[in-house]
Chain A
């Protein structure tokens, strides 16, 4: 087994170990594109923890393992708060973390306000939300910039029968940079993100009177770019399985176009996650 494969196996095992106790007692919350902000929100008083493991292979055999921990909490019927903290392990070229060092990414805190809800029939629905927040300077050396970066954005979800559409946009006001850029925006330029997603329900074709698992094919276009010409366009096909007691998602991320200002370029990415509700 190659070192890269071993790293991935270790990471997946760690991911499973973290999530297993949660999955045993919780049920999931899903029907969202895995890597796109969603206009869905938890009910008042409901907490939705989410964890997503990501493996990113950069040029030259560099590898970054990430565990994105996210929690959403329903404050009111249309208002929720969220927090997201990435944990990293780097196998990158020196002087970036090169020997499996662990580190934190930027902690993001924000609120989401649902401004649109049109429930058209038993299944069809259209939702829209605005979001705002900030990334805090919590990143450790080599895992991103350490700056306070406010952001604003919007998200729309639409479900029509077996077809689901997601779209989201986000503008981050970047206030700092780093000597070791790893992510887009690390050069200090503001970042625009725009995502499109399509979710197709493979099965069941029609829901029955009995609750059953639903299988979805997901396809996303995830784009980020900066005023400085940095850009990243990823195509992300995946699978989402949503059962009465759990929901899991998995997929790959393929770079379609990218240009990095002194940061490594993505060769391939993998993600796998679970969403829970309490």
Chain B
């Protein structure tokens, strides 16, 4: 009997997470967020990505890793003070803003804007 009570206590502790999970579906966890950015290739040169949630020096290695995997990304430099990643794009194969958003989401963070243009804006 006590064992069942313990199990019920754990379930009671876990179940309140479900509403939170619902909240998450409208934010960065959802791939739809990335699709709010343009699928057009960005221009060559420097682009500044505003990224949310970069809370520690090593966690942001994930951002470097994922962005540098994109074709055309020559470098990615993280600035934790301002919460930005400066990306240098070069060559013929250039990523889109949506690619950037997807890579940032894969890294576990949220892309809020590119060159000052937020998700949903037409650059």
Interface residue? B89 (CB, 8 A)? no
CB-defined interface of A258-278 with B at 8 Å, one 1/0 digit per residue? Answer: 000000000000000000010
B59 surroundings in chain A (CB, below 8 A): 29-31, 40
Q: Check A189 against B3 for contact (C-beta < 8 Å).
A: yes
CA distance A116 to B106 in the complex (A): 14
CB-defined interface of A110-146 with B at 8 Å, one 1/0 digit per residue? Answer: 0000111111111111001010000000000000000
For the side of the interface on A, what is the size category?
A: 35 or more
Interface residue? B27 (CB, 8 A)? yes
Interface residue? A190 (CB, 8 A)? yes
Q: Check A123 against B83 for contact (C-beta < 8 Å).
A: yes
Chain B: minimal CB distance from A70 (Å): 16
B21 surroundings in chain A (CB, below 8 A): 115-116, 128
B80 surroundings in chain A (CB, below 8 A): 122-123, 207-209, 211
| A115-B17, A115-B21, A119-B28 known; A243-B57 Cβ under 8 A | yes
Q: Check A154 against B23 for contact (C-beta < 8 Å).
A: no
Apart from A122-B80, A244-B57, 13 more pairs, CB < 8 Å: A27-B58, A43-B108, A77-B105, A116-B17, A117-B53, A123-B54, A123-B55, A152-B14, A190-B3, A209-B79, A209-B80, A242-B58, A244-B61
Query: Using a CB–CB distance below 8 Å, which chain A residues touch chain B?
Result: 27-31, 40-44, 46, 77-78, 114-125, 128, 130, 152-154, 156, 159, 164, 169-171, 189-190, 192, 206-209, 211-214, 227, 242-244, 247, 277
Query: Using a CB–CB distance below 8 Å, which chain B residues touch chain A?
Result: 2-3, 6-7, 9-10, 13-14, 17-18, 20-21, 23-24, 27-29, 31, 50-62, 65-66, 78-83, 105-110
